[in-house]
Structure 1
Amino acid sequence: MMLGWRARIGQMRPATAIEGAEEWRSVAPVGVAFADARTIVPRVDEEGLKVMMSQVLEASRQLATAKVDLIVQCGAPGTFLRGVGHDEEVCAQIEAETGIPAITMMAAQMDALKALGATSIAVATIYSDEVNEKMGAFMEAKGFKIASMLGLQITDPFDASVHDADSAYRLGKQAFKAAGKCDAILISCGTYRTFPILPYLEMDTGAAVVSSNQATLWRALRAVGLKDQIPNLGKLWYAA
């Protein structure tokens, strides 16, 4: 039987971000397969992310050769740094280049928060304050209230992989406490492993938890028409 007989999803990720691709494969529904393409990110700052985004169309062409049903641009800062509307612009460029529908990680995170009915958000990221400021402005323009925002101040993309799921749990909980009150916790970075801690962070805080890899996998499956509910990956899967 051919791999991906239900859906073939193409994911482009920073070359250092092996964690996100492996998280997806660890919970892949039956009949779903992933094709990978990589981009180089010199630094997680405005100039480095411009370099990443300059490789998006080439990565899309690579994924198109695998006859995927959907192309997913992973690397949320690559789109939010340029403000509202850039997600749609990137997707349109990918679709024009390949004829294949596309989504972005940042838009998937926003869709996930909306699906949960969350408006007040505690945000935890690996990013610097400079990048977080841009992210906060983007989210506020989308109608969300930033209840708190904490970042690990990482600019070397490889360093993000050193921080494992326990770090994501602690940072998410710190952001929740700093917020005082919020509807949801957003943990943003596709290199940040979060799948093992999602149900525990929700249980220990009472808030819904959205993470980059969780939200983007959810959005990708829904985009190709699959309604799988993956257990132990948070309330999101049962919201929509």
Structure 2
Amino acid sequence: MRYLSRGTARIGVLVPFTNTNLEADMALMRPQGVSFHYARLGGYDRDEIPDEKQMAGLGASDLDEPLALLLGVRPDVVMYGCTSATLTHGPQFDADLSRKITDLSGAATVTAAGALVFALKALGATRIGFASPYVPKINDDAVAFLQSCGVTTLHRSEVMGTLDNYSQGELTPQKVFDLGRAADHPDAQAIVLSCTDMRSVEIIDRLEAELGKPVITSNQAMLFQALHHLGLGYADGFGNLFTSLERGTA
């Protein structure tokens, strides 16, 4: 059968301008017939540490120009591709941003932070291990965000030292695997790897095999929720989350 490069659905993605992994992850996971279209987000200094102040500033930055450019392709779904930008503001901000993008675009909207919650609810997971490349304060914000959505973090792992906007994306898959494994807890029902610029998608299957539980990543969760909006199934790997969608259990 001829492989379809487009024609089923178009997904527009708003991606931070220093992010080098979100697009690559979507290329890896792209379902047949679904095309991805990107616009870059500014609103932060690439040479500064991506701490809670910088990420909160990104979340509050003006989306009018990048969103207007993205709407030129008439997307069926729009993804907001930064997890920490709304984690730092809280669930209400995240929901309001999603509604704003939908109102302006007419498309279903998926935020990275909201997609993590959506994926965990789809799996029925309320107790997790959490890992990210963030500074500790953003991890605090993330744990609080998830807790307010009914998800308890039993254990978390963090990187040693402080990573800049490029170092987060330069973590090797092995380092991401080790970070995820260190986040596990005997009572955790799933592991969350948060950050759209961390190379998590490449190690999902390996980490699930190691830990015997689902692994949820920001980019995987965004695609999962987008496919849910589109009514499309998915069966080509990248974790138990997509398997649940294909079985119709999500």
Structures share a fold, TM > 0.5? yes
Q: How do 1:60-71 and structure 2 match up within 5 A? A: 60-71=67-78
The unaligned stretches of length 5 or more in structure 1 are none
CA RMSD in angstroms, aligned pairs only: 1.8
**What is the DSSP-based 3-state SS (H/G/I as helix, E as strand, rest coil) of the residue aligned with 2:91?**
coil
**What is the DSSP-based 3-state SS (H/G/I as helix, E as strand, rest coil) of the residue aligned with 1:157?**
coil
Question: Retained in 1: the 8 A contact 2:192–2:216?
Answer: yes
TM-score by length of 1: 0.92
- Name the residue aligned to 1:236: 241
How far apart are 1:4 and its partner, in Å?
2.8
Post-superposition CA distance 1:18-70 (Å, at most 9, x none)? 21111111221111100001113324223212332214332221110111111
- Name the residue aligned to 2:149: 142
Post-superposition CA distance 1:98-150 (Å, at most 9, x none)? 22221101111111111111111000000011111111111111111111112
- Name the residue aligned to 1:83: 90
Q: How do 1:1-240 and structure 2 match up within 5 A? A: 4-40=6-42, 41-42=44-45, 43-53=49-59, 54-152=61-159, 154-176=162-184, 179-231=185-237, 233-239=238-244, 240=250
How far apart are 1:15 and its partner, in Å?
1.2
How far apart are 1:155 and its partner, in Å?
4.7
How far apart are 1:3 and its partner, in Å?
5.4
How far apart are 1:210 and its partner, in Å?
0.5
Question: Retained in 1: the 8 A contact 2:56–2:86?
Answer: no
How far apart are 1:96 and its partner, in Å?
2.1
How far apart are 1:199 and its partner, in Å?
1.1
**What is the DSSP-based 3-state SS (H/G/I as helix, E as strand, rest coil) of the residue aligned with 2:13?**
strand
Aligned residue type for 1:197: I
The unaligned stretches of length 5 or more in structure 2 are 245-249
Cα pair distance change 1:203/1:75, threshold 3 Å: same
- Distance (whole Å) between structure 1 residues aligned to residue 90 and residue 14 of structure 2: 21
**What is the DSSP-based 3-state SS (H/G/I as helix, E as strand, rest coil) of the residue aligned with 1:17?**
coil
- Distance (whole Å) between structure 2 residues aligned to residue 185 and residue 116 of structure 1: 12
- Distance (whole Å) between structure 1 residues aligned to residue 62 and residue 166 of structure 2: 18
Question: Retained in 1: the 8 A contact 2:56–2:89?
Answer: no
